[in-house]
Amino acid sequence: MIKLFACDLDGTLLNFFHQVDGTVLKAIRTVSDAGLEFAVATGRTMRAAQRREFGFGDVRMHSVGMNGAMVYNADDELIYAKPLKKDLLEELLKAFPDIGFECVGYDHIFVTDSRERHAAYGGRKGLMGLVMRPMRAKFLAGCRFDQTMADILGRDILKVNCHVHDPARERDLQDFVAAHADRVVNAPFDPCMFELTDKDVNKGTAVAYLARYLGIEEGEVAVYGDGGNDLEMLGRFKHAYATSNGSDAAKRAAGNVIGNCAFYAVPRHIMRTVRAQR
């Protein structure tokens, strides 16, 4: 019996426009009404305030955030956190002063760029960039810009994000991550990004921690994902499902492929599973 459902957001639980809608909310309420547990597993923070702003309202759900660097229970209590080590963070900032890093803390995002430069160079391009523009605007509104190294090192940083537009600098950053593999890991949801966390951080470990916290066995957990930051989660659990729009690596890790997120494959699979268990 599945007692905990854990879902990635973009390309998985959310609709084609990367939004929460009635079908998504119905699936979560179906889980809650059955006395079961639901969690988002995302690269975002997704505390209670962010969940409401994002469109989840007050539905009962847990949050595995920052690719697994933090876990909040349904009462918005922090139950697990794994920040980046300060010496690693300092070395990264010194090595790449020209890159606009998004250093994500518990409550704020501290950006080494100016607002103008970051708005100009961050985010996706093309049609998907247009779809996600409102989300990007909300993100930028929550950032603190022109942050110094001292500003950033004075706080606990759970994840560092960036887009690198110079191929040579991208290779340099990849080399830095490889040389520091004992302290940092890069697990982006999109290959055009870097999402750096402590080497022990991943969604699989964090979802397993949440399951133990709730008294649930790993065999009673179902997980859903589509991209690079879902691989450990999809590979760890027996009941793992990738969307058909997901990456080949995600499909291999999950072993089970369901429909496209544009057609609500995950919400519908969750609701079918709950009904079948009844």
CATH number for the domain including 240?
A: 3.40.50.1000
* Shared-domain flag, residues 266 and 135: no
pLDDT at 7: 98
* Shared-domain flag, residues 231 and 270: yes
- Indicate the pLDDT class of residue 190, thresholds 50, 70 and 90: confident
* Shared-domain flag, residues 91 and 193: yes
* Shared-domain flag, residues 114 and 161: yes
Tell me the average pLDDT across 170-181: 97
Interacting residues of 250 by C-beta distance below 8 A, sequence separation 6+? 225, 226, 227, 228, 230, 231, 234, 242
| C-alpha closest to that of 70 among 38, 42, 90, 37 | 42
Judged against a pLDDT cut of 80, whether residue 137 lies above it is answered with no
pLDDT at 76: 96
pTM here is 0.91
Tell me the average pLDDT across 83-108: 95
- Indicate the pLDDT class of residue 272, thresholds 50, 70 and 90: very high
Taken in order 261, 6, 55, 106, the sign of the CA dihedral is negative
Count of the separate structural domains present in the chain: 2
Structure tokens at 167: 């191929």
Distance CA 48, CA 85 (A): 26
* Shared-domain flag, residues 212 and 138: no
107 vs 39, residue with greater confidence:
39
Which residue type does 74 have? A
Tell me the average pLDDT across 15-32: 96
* Shared-domain flag, residues 121 and 185: yes
CA dist 220 → 4, 131, 208, 277 (Å): 7, 35, 11, 12
Check which CATH number belongs to the domain holding 132 and give it.
3.30.1240.10
- Indicate the pLDDT class of residue 278, thresholds 50, 70 and 90: confident
* Shared-domain flag, residues 102 and 67: no
% pLDDT > 70, the chain: 92
pLDDT at 55: 94
- Indicate the pLDDT class of residue 140, thresholds 50, 70 and 90: low
Last residue of a domain, one of 148, 178, 198: 198
- Least confidently predicted of 173-182, 188-197, 255-264: 188-197
Last residue of a domain, one of 198, 224, 256: 198
Q: In this predicted model, what pLDDT tens digit does every residue of 216-260 receive, in sequence order?
A: 999 999 999 999 999 999 999 999 999 999 999 999 999 999 999
- Indicate the pLDDT class of residue 125, thresholds 50, 70 and 90: low
* Shared-domain flag, residues 94 and 190: yes
* Shared-domain flag, residues 99 and 158: yes
* Shared-domain flag, residues 10 and 109: no
Tell me the average pLDDT across 43-71: 94
Judged against a pLDDT cut of 70, whether residue 138 lies above it is answered with no
User: Are the beta carbons of 69 and 81 closer than 8 angstroms?
Assistant: yes
* Shared-domain flag, residues 188 and 213: no
* Shared-domain flag, residues 107 and 158: yes
Q: In this predicted model, what pLDDT tens digit does every residue of 99-120 receive, in sequence order?
A: 999 999 998 999 999 988 877 7
Judged against a pLDDT cut of 80, whether residue 46 lies above it is answered with yes
Judged against a pLDDT cut of 80, whether residue 19 lies above it is answered with yes
Last residue of a domain, one of 198, 222, 240: 198
Judged against a pLDDT cut of 70, whether residue 69 lies above it is answered with yes
pLDDT at 276: 97
The whole domain housing 157 covers: 86-198
